[in-house]
């Protein structure tokens, strides 16, 4: 224990000096950045210019006269942005002597070309009535449902849509029940059934038996 005592005394002596040196280094790197932002053509102060340190969530804006002040570090990159002007970047020198840095930042107007807009006068009552009558109104849900449940649409769906498992099972059960009903006897002939003839004539008129090839 005694042989480590000199090393402990040396560490207790060096740690405060090291911490003080680091604090002095950080304090020396802090810079008060201040100045004014003006237009490049008329030298008028620009209000509401956003001033932010790139890569950090710190910033400020200029006042009504374009004056600003912000705390930064040596080596920081400060960005000046405004909706009506081109952005500018200012780098704080790392070898800056002292802890204050002033700038007069000039900004150039950023011209934005909007797409051409054609303004026309209001239509006359006659033109409005004509366009209103000829306007194609899209079908609503009720009209679409009515069209899907029409007889012609249902007939097309019956021919093109295959049956699901429930329909196939129901058809098979009906066939089994019919065979069980006429077990041991001949099934009736529909040639003498008036209802069957009525369905046949109706299908003939619809063209169900026409050659589609």
Interval 172-210: pLDDT, tens: 888 888 788 777 777 767 676 777 778 878 877 877 766
Mean pLDDT of 13-39: 66
**Mean predicted confidence (pLDDT) in 87-108:** 93
Could you tell me which residue, 33 or 125, shows the higher pLDDT? 33
Are 69 and 155 in the same domain? Answer: no
Number of domains in the chain: 2
Q: What percent of the chain has pLDDT over 70?
A: 82
d(CA 188, CA 196): 12
- Phi/psi class of residue 98: alpha, beta or left (left: φ > 0; alpha: ψ in -120 to 50)? left
Q: What CATH number does the domain containing 19 carry?
A: 2.60.40.1120
**pLDDT of 7 over the 60 cut:** no
Mark whether 128 and 94 lie in a shared domain. no
Pick from 61-65, 99-103, 161-165, 200-204: least confident: 161-165
The pTM of the full predicted model, rounded to 2 decimals, is: 0.45
Cα separation, 129 vs 135, in Å, equals: 10
Q: In this structure, are 19 and 102 located in the same domain? A: yes
Question: Tens of pLDDT along 106-120?
Answer: 999 988 788 888 888
């Amino acid at each position: 224990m005694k042989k480590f005592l000199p090393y402990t005394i040396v560490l207790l002596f060096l740690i405060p000096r090291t911490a003080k040196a680091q604090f002095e280094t950080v304090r020396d790197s802090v810079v008060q950045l201040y100045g004014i932002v003006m237009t490049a053509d008329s030298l008028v102060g620009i209000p509401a210019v956003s001033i932010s340190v790139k890569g950090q969530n710190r910033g400020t804006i200029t006042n009504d006269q374009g004056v600003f002040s912000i705390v930064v570090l040596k080596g920081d990159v400060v960005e000046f942005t405004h909706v009506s002007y081109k952005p500018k970047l200012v780098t704080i020198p790392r070898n800056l002597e002292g802890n204050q840095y002033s700038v007069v930042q000039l900004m150039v107007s950023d011209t934005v070309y909007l797409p051409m807009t054609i303004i026309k006068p209001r239509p006359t009552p006659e033109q409005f009535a004509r366009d209103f009558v000829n306007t194609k109104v899209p079908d609503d849900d009720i009209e679409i449902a009515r069209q899907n449940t029409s007889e012609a649409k249902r007939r097309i769906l019956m021919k093109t849509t295959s049956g699901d498992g429930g329909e196939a099972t129901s058809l098979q059960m009906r066939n089994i029940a019919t065979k069980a009903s006429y077990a041991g006897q001949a099934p009736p002939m529909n040639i003498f059934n008036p209802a069957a003839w009525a369905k046949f004539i109706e299908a003939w008129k619809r063209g169900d038996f026409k050659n589609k090839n």
